[in-house]
Chain A
Amino acid sequence: SAVISQKPSRDICQRGTSLTIQCQVDSQVTMMFWYRQQPGQSLTLIATANQGSEATYESGFVIDKFPISRPNLTFSTLTVSNMSPEDSSIYLCSVGFGTNQPQHFGDGTRLSIL
């Protein structure tokens, strides 16, 4: 399966700042996704990153807060903007070959906001 590198692995940020998380895959993939996982909770899909076009956001998530880029088939970024303590979470990127197909996850970014 694809090797997925996610950076940074963790960060502690100040309230009101923004952080960009990078996801790099070692091979071209059709689909890239961004999830949020609160400690001890399930995974919630933030958006599907579309290559060359705007991401598709899930209910409750907006582009102004979570801008996403996907310039090619192996790379995507998620920015968490104007952070507040409620944004403290694990952010995961995943890849797959279809919206209903198995996904492979990066190691995640553990984000804490003070």
Chain B
Amino acid sequence: GQQVMQIPQYQHVQEGEDFTTYCNSSTTLSNIQWYKQRPGGHPVFLIQLVKSGEVKKQKRLTFQFGEAKKNSSLHITATQTTDVGTYFCAGAATNKLIFGTGTLLAVQP
């Protein structure tokens, strides 16, 4: 079945460092979405990418959708302690949203 993998599984950074998480799908996607889940919280929708090669920015966050619509990345510039949490990509295909394995980000002040 369809799988969505993320790397790394865990990353620990110093505050101010950059962070990137990568998302790879086994199948071509109609769109990809990103969610953030704070410790003890629920997933919160961040953004949706639809077009091949699309790049979107939200303040310090940059999201990319690959040309083949099978991979995506989330880059955070100059991390802050408020960025702590697990970042999930979710790939949309065959009328279903498949959540990636997630990347847990820890930020040391």
Which A residues lie at the B interface, using CB under 8 A?
1, 40-45, 59, 92, 99-108
Instruction: Please state if A99 and B100 are interface contacts (CB–CB under 8 Å).
Output: no
7 closest residue pairs by CB, A with B: A100-B92, A105-B42, A99-B95, A43-B99, A102-B45, A42-B99, A105-B43
Report how many residues on chain B are interfacial, defined by Cβ distance under 8 Å.
21
Which B residues lie at the A interface, using CB under 8 A?
1, 30-31, 33, 41-45, 48, 88, 92-93, 95-97, 99-102, 104
In terms of DSSP, what is the predominant structure of the interface of chain B?
Answer: strand
A42–B23 Cα distance when bound, in Å, is 13
Q: Can you pick out 28 interface pairs between chain A and chain B where the beta carbons lie within 8 Å of each other? A: A1-B45, A41-B102, A42-B99, A42-B100, A42-B102, A43-B88, A43-B99, A45-B97, A59-B1, A92-B42, A92-B43, A99-B95, A99-B97, A100-B30, A100-B31, A100-B92, A100-B96, A100-B97, A102-B33, A102-B45, A102-B48, A103-B45, A105-B42, A105-B43, A105-B44, A106-B42, A107-B41, A108-B42
